[in-house]
Amino acid sequence: MSSQFNRDFESAQANERSLFDRIFRDSNGNIVIIQPPNLPILVGTAATLLHFVAPNGTIGILSGLVGFGTLYSWAWLELFSGVNYFRQGLGLVSLIGLIALGYSLFSV
C-alpha cells in the first residue's frame, strides 16, 4: 500500500526533466541545437562580410555598425529568449565575444 505522499513523490519524479533535457530540448521535447537563421543573423552576417570587403569609408563604417548591432541584438535575444540552456549559453558566449571584440576594435 502506498500513501498519498509516495504517489505524489513518484509523480513528481516522473515529471522532472533530466539535465540533458533542460540543456538541449525545447518546451515541446524537440532537441534544438541549430535553428534556421533568423533575420538578425542574416543581416549581421551580410553586413559583416560587406565590412570585410570594404573596411574603409562610409560603407565600411555603416556596415560595421549594422553588423555589430544586429549580431548584438541576436545574442541578447538568445540569452534572454533562447528555447533551452544551450541556446541561452550560446547567446551569452556570443554577447561576451562581441563586447570583447568591440572593446578591442574601438579602444585607443
pLDDT of residue 74: 95
Residue 48 in contact with residue 12, Cβ under 8 Å?
no
pTM value > 0.75: yes
In angstroms, the CA 63 to CA 57 distance is: 10
In angstroms, the CA 40 to CA 63 distance is: 13
pLDDT tens per residue, range 25-82: 888 888 888 888 889 999 999 999 999 898 889 998 999 899 999 999 999 999 999 9
DSSP the chain: ---HHHHHHHHHHHHPPPHHHHHHB-TTS-B-S-----HHHHHHHHHHHHHHHS-SHHHHHHHHHHHHHHHHHHHHHHHHH-SSHHHHHHHHHHHHHHHHHHHHHH--
